[in-house]
Amino acid sequence: MMDLFEKLEPTEPVSEMLAEGAMLLRGEALAFDGELLAAVEDITGRSPFRHLVTPGGYPMSVAMTNCGAVGWVSDRTGYRYDPEDPLHGRAWPPMPDCFRALAAQAAARAGYPNFAPDACLVNRYVPGARLTLHQDRNERDFASPIVSVSLGLPATFQFGGLKRNDPVKRYALRHGDVAVWGGPSRLRFHGVSELKAGDHPLLGAVRINLTFRHAR
């Protein structure tokens, strides 16, 4: 009996609209999780996770890599999309079919039927890692949404407004959740709070986030 009640979480796993143009699709990636994680292994075998340095000179606590035609990078010269992985000067690994399929399916469900990402930033969080409030504005195309997939340990997503000091709402992002972000919400400030310790059955003490963009 107790088990039954514990499974009912009245305020949780329901998909919701975060704001106009922004949707949180609970569990949207669950059917793909094994395939997605195998593809992440393959990507990081060719372009390993690394801690990029901010233009100000600080290493980021989140480790990153990319797949697709271009990849997001940061260094002392600024932020940019680069067709080459600066670690070795070769192209980023191609975007796996399961990535593309999930991103297109989620975008369509959120009201963006023709999403064709050319970049996927892969983020790895370990306990203590965080992403400060920012806007995603290095893409040439703000007409396309961003699709963001959460795998592994849960994290607290901070979702603000169009100005840095606008009030921030907080949402738990769990394994399999997908956030889609576009239209009037495309340039909202957002961030991820310090990851808490935990042990996920598939990933252990790690959270992986995939963010798909149409960058160029």
**What residue ranges bind ligand MD6 (CB under 6 A)?**
123, 131, 136, 146, 148, 179, 181, 190, 192, 209, 211
99 or 181: whose CB is closer to ligand MD6?
181
Residue 9 C-beta: closest distance to Fe ion, Å: 27
The backbone torsions φ and ψ at residue 98, rounded to the nearest 5 degrees and listed phi first, read -70, -30
Q: Does 136 bind Fe ion (CB under 5 A)?
A: yes
Smaller CB separation from Fe ion, 90 or 132: 132
The rounded distance, in Å, linking the Cα atoms of 44 and 124 is 11
Q: Answer yes or no: are the C-beta atoms of 203 and 152 closer than 8 Å.
A: yes
Could you tell me the smallest distance in angstroms from the CB atom of residue 146 to ligand MD6?
A: 4
Give the interface segment with Fe ion, choosing from 14-22, 58-66, 136-144, 149-157 (CB under 5 A).
Answer: 136-144
**Two structure tokens written together for 47:** 């372009």
- Least distance (Å) between residue 166 CB and Fe ion: 16
Residue number with CB closer to Fe ion (38 or 187):
187
- Residue 123 interacts with which of ligand MD6, Fe ion, none, CB < 5 to 8 Å by class: ligand MD6
Report the residue count for the chain. Answer: 216
2/33 with CB nearer ligand MD6: 33
Where does this chain bind Fe ion (CB under 5 A)? Answer: 136
